[in-house]
Amino acid sequence: MQQFIHLSLNNLPPIWVDGFSSQLIDEENVLAWLEIDLNTRLHFAQGIVVVTNHRLMAKMAGDEIWQEWRYQQGLLLTQRDYAGVGCLELFDSKARLAYWRYRLGNDIAVSRLIECFMQQLGYHLTGKLSLSTHTQVQCPNCATLLSSDQEECPVCDKQIRTPPSTWTLLRLWRFAKPYKGRLLTGFLLTLCSTAATLVPPYLTMPLMDNVLIPYQNGQPIDTDLVTLYLSGLLGAAILAWVLGWARTYMLALVSERIGADLRTATYEHLLNLSQEYFGGKRTGDLMARIGAETDRINIFISLHLLDFATDVIMIGMTAVILISINPWLALVTLLPLPIIAWLIHLVRDRLRIGFEKVDRIWAEVNNVLADTIPGIRVVKAFAQEKREAARFHAANQRNLQINDRVNRIWSLFTPTVTLLTEIGLLVVWIFGIWQISEDEITVGVLTAFLAYIGRFYIRLDSMSRIVSITQKAAAGTKRIFDILDHVSSVPESAHPVHLSTVQGQIELRNVGFRYGTRSITRDINLVIKPGEMIGLVGHSGSGKSTLVNLICRFYDVTEGIILIDGHDIRSLPIAEYRKHIGLVLQEPFLFYGTIAENIAYGKPDATRAEIISAARAAHAHEFILRLPHGYDSLAGERGQALSGGERQRISIARALLIDPRILILDEATSSVDTTTEKDIQKALDNLVRGRTTIAIAHRLSTLREANRLIVLDRGRIVEMGNHAELMAREGYYYRLYQAQARNVDTEDESFVSVVEHSVAGERE
């Protein structure tokens, strides 16, 4: 049995506590409550709905009495959502008892309230407090199934909060595997070059004991012996240089290729993700991951990982040589090693978490740049330079604060390691001098030991420094694999169906779509014949653009099915399917490049004649010829060198060039003046022949020639027919058209009229 946590009255909003406490009866506890923010006429107003263990209670600000409903057979509490507005409704077996409006930001709290209500209702009817079945929805970012009462997706939340593990770096083997032969060669070269660098200290022992010390005691210098030793030192130095150059060059080549493959794979995977993924991401953050993070990983592999491998080999070989020369002196030399290892383990986790925070804050800095630089015209138009500079300064300061925290840890760690190595060197001197005094070792042995120890401790210090670099690389690797591990919510079919030709018939059967817990469209049934032109009509938020996105398969339906020529579009290869669709967006987007390159974006191999023909059809040819370099003129960043109408006509030409069987116009004429709109409309009248065309337009006059008009409201089809038929019915479309003709805000009038009609019906 599930036990409820009784809410104290102190948890209620303060304005309701006093009035509600006087309403409670004996042994009554508050189990859940919802503060609503709209009245029945959709005006902002305060109200509250409360579930207790005995009843449901509600009150709006200004009302004198509380409404209450005891738990009884037939009672039902449900929720519905419209375009940005939700409705909580209470029914009994005969009629609707009450309803409350709220903004959809309260959707999760509403689901919890309903769940609590239904559990208490079941308890009063059956005597058992049953567990309710949660409605499952998909996370809009990762498509994980969630219950409706979950505020956060556990998968996404884990990605954000779970610190990266150093073992994440092992996942890079997927990109290193194709180059394993070169990596093995690089490792062997590292082994040989490290061995070569250890030869000179070993030769100092006989040089000291057999040449210098005997000479100091009066014996003549053996020239041949000196030549042999010095030749050995020179040869070892040259060999170490050659091998070091070869291994550095070899591993640099490999690391560059691994980095390039990593960037390419990440970018390609990013392009294949669904539109939902990009809806929850910032451009600057994604750019930082593909650019800065892969570059950091590349540097780690080419430089620091190589140095780390060299350090490990050097320490291992040095330890073996020291033990072979004198085990006791070697033991003293290696004494600081366990302490340094313990320090590395102590700070590793703190550095790893700290560097991941640094990466996230740095992404915020990039996000500000990605927002303001493309939108510099808007920034300047509203004189917001100081505000944007303040945003950047704030993000930069947060970056500084996080870095300061990491540096406080790192600044203490590095000098501590250096101090330990200096103390270790001092201990070796003391122990070595004592052993010389006891005739245990010679001066040459101590000299060789000191030479090896110098290299040993330098490498040990270098290994300690690589801790921070490794944690930075691990944090970057985690952020890269967060992208690579993400599965698109619009997957490719395992057994794709290939269509040789497309006729253009589109059928929607019981289509519904939810974004998170919000229902956008429901029960859409529509058949569009090949070559037919339909217009989608409705106020903003009625589901027009969502319907187009579903047909283009930018999103997948959550209910029902969409068919193209009788085939489920989910069974078709995505790229192959979209080649048959020409899309003109409400906000035209042009790439940095020439006019001709932008028109030919969907067909890069198009001839100049085909490009000009498409431009003529879109009525863009004339203004293009007036540009300084005609079709070779630069469009500028996002088409900033062109006016809004010119950008729109370029985007129309771009869609026309691919000669699609299905043409989708999403407010295609919204950015042009009346004269240009008429020119484009004339071109479209010829172009839609033989093509299935779906057009969205707020100006209803532009859709009068459509074969059918589909009128949407709150995600449903409410009317269907041509312009004359719908006007004759004097229904929803008629009111929209008349309101627009009177220059009245279509959305407010249509929506309020529907609400008023609904309220009037309820009063009757």
d(CA 131, CA 149): 13
Dist CA 121 CA 574 (whole Å): 48
Which of these ranges, 127-131, 277-281, 324-328, 680-684, has the smallest mean pLDDT?
127-131
Measured CA angle at 283 (ends 280, 284), to 5 deg: 125
Which percentage of the chain shows pLDDT scores above 70? 79
Band (pLDDT 50/70/90 cuts) for residue 391 is confident
Q: How far apart are CA 534 and CA 758, in angstroms?
A: 29
In the prediction, which pLDDT does 682 show?
64
- Listed in order, the ranges of the chain carrying CATH 3.40.50.300 are 504-580+691-764
pLDDT: which is higher, 626 or 643: 626
The two three-digit tokens of residue 449, written as one number: 């030991």
> Model confidence over 684-708: pLDDT tens digits?
666 666 788 888 876 676 677 788 9
Q: Could you read off the pLDDT of 400-416 as tens digits, one per residue?
A: 887 777 777 767 766 77
Q: How confident is the model at residue 507 (pLDDT cuts 50, 70, 90)?
A: very high
Tell me how crowded residue 29 is: count the other CB atoms within 10 A of its CB: 14
Q: What angle do CA 464, 470, 474 make, to 5 degrees?
A: 155
**Which CATH fold would you assign to the domain 504-580+691-764?**
Rossmann fold (3.40.50)
Q: Which residue, 310, 316, 342, is CA-closest to 330? A: 316
Neighbour-count burial of 588, counting CB atoms closer than 10 A to its CB (0-12 exposed, 13-18 middle, 19+ buried):
buried
Among the residue ranges 114-118, 564-568, 711-715, 750-754, the one predicted with the least confidence is: 750-754
Average pLDDT of the segment spanning 533-562: 86
Going through 259-336 in order, the beta strands assigned E by DSSP cover none
Amino acid, single-letter form, for residue 717: I
CATH 1.20.1560.10 segments of the chain:
166-326+441-485
At position 201, the amino acid (one-letter code) is P
Summarize the confidence of residues 719-726 as an average pLDDT: 87
Share of the chain above pLDDT 90, in %: 2
Distance CA 28, CA 93 (A): 26
CA–CA dist 273, 490 (Å, integer) = 7
**Ordered strands of the 559-564 beta sheet:** 518-528, 506-515, 559-564, 567-568
Phi–psi pair at 740, nearest 5 degrees: -70, -35
Q: What is the mean pLDDT of residues 453-468?
A: 67
Task: Tell me which of 74-83, 131-140, 225-234, 681-690 is least confident.
Answer: 131-140
What single-letter DSSP state applies at residue 328? H
Dihedral of CA 377/383/385/387: which sign? Answer: negative
Instruction: Give residue 734's Cα distance to chain centre.
Output: 43
DSSP label of 134:
P
8-state DSSP, 301: I
Residues 522-550: what's their mean pLDDT? 87
- The length of the chain is 764
Higher pLDDT, 144 or 58: 58
Listed in sequence order, the residues at least 6 apart from 296 whose beta carbon sits closer than 8 Å to its beta carbon are 472, 473, 476
Residue with tokens 């009788």: 566
Report the distance separating Cα 559 and Cα 509, nearest Å: 9
What fold, for 166-326+441-485? ABC transporter transmembrane region fold (1.20.1560)
Enumerate the CATH 2.30.29.30 domain ranges in the chain, comma separated. Answer: 2-159
CATH number of 2-159: 2.30.29.30
Q: What is the mean pLDDT of the chain?
A: 76
Quick one: tokens of 89? Answer: 């409704």
pLDDT beyond 60 at 151: no
Rounded Cα distance between 363 and 482, Å, is 15
What sign does the CA torsion over 682, 685, 688, 692 have? positive
SS3 call for 541: coil
At residue 162, does pLDDT exceed 60? no
pLDDT at 145 over 50: no
In the prediction, which pLDDT does 374 show? 67
Q: Calculate the CA dihedral of residues 158, 159, 165, 167 and round it to 10 degrees.
A: 110
**Cα–Cα distance for residue pair 221/217, rounded to 1 Å:** 11
Helix (H) or strand (E) holding 550: helix 544-551
- For the entire predicted model, the pTM comes to 0.59
Q: How much is the pLDDT for 527?
A: 92
Q: Does position 747 have pLDDT exceeding 50, yes or no?
A: no
Backbone angles phi, psi at 73, to 5 degrees: -60, 135
Residue 672: Cβ within 10 Å count: 22
- Give the other-Cβ count within 10 Å of 346's Cβ: 11
Average pLDDT score over residue span 269-291: 74
pLDDT for 562: 92
Closest by Cα among 113, 47, 483 to 262: 483
C-alpha to C-alpha distance for 717 and 542, rounded to whole angstroms: 9
Residue with tokens 């062109």: 642
Per-residue DSSP letters for 570-633? Answer: GGS-HHHHHTTEEEE-SS----SSBHHHHHTTT-TT--HHHHHHHHHHTT-HHHHHTSTTGGGS
Q: Which residue has the higher pLDDT, 409 or 510?
A: 510
Whether 136 has a pLDDT exceeding 50, the answer reads: no
Q: In whole angstroms, what is the distance from residue 723 CA to residue 697 CA?
A: 14
Work out the average pLDDT over 490-494. 77
Report pLDDT digits (tens) over 333-369.
Answer: 777 777 766 776 666 666 666 766 776 677 677 777 7
User: Could you give the maximum distance between any two Cα atoms of the chain, in Å?
Assistant: 127
The side-by-side arrangement of strands in the sheet containing 581-584 is 581-584, 662-666, 692-696, 533-537, 708-713, 716-721
Please determine, for residue 68, whether its predicted confidence score (pLDDT) is greater than 70. Answer: yes
pLDDT for res 742: 67
What SS3 state is found at 143?
A: coil
Q: Average pLDDT of 651-655? A: 84
> Using an 8 Å Cβ cutoff, are 266 and 446 in contact?
no
Q: What is the pLDDT of residues 660-679, one digit of tens each?
A: 888 888 776 665 566 666 66
**pLDDT for position 419:** 75
| Band (525; pLDDT cuts 50, 70, 90) | very high
- The yes-or-no verdict on residue 247 having pLDDT over 50 is yes
Q: What is the pLDDT of residue 78?
A: 85
263: left (phi over 0), alpha (psi -120 to 50) or beta: alpha
Mean pLDDT value of segment 556-582: 88
Helix axes 223-272, 180-197, angle to 10 degrees: 150
CA 95 – CA 74 distance, rounded (Å)? 10
Query: pLDDT at residue 282 above 70?
Result: no
Question: Which position has the higher pLDDT, 90 or 27?
Answer: 90
pLDDT at 697: 75
Exposure pattern of 477-516 as b/e (b: 16+ CB <10 Å)?
Answer: bbbbbebeebebbbeeeeeeeebeebebbbbbbebbbbeb
pLDDT of 154 higher than 60:
no
Q: Considering only CA atoms, which of 568, 556, 555 is closest in space to residue 499?
A: 568
Please say if the pLDDT value at position 167 is more than 80.
no
**73-116: pLDDT as tens digits:** 888 888 876 555 778 888 888 888 888 888 766 767 787 788 88
Residue-wise DSSP of 362-383: HHHHHHHHHHHTTTHHHHHHTT
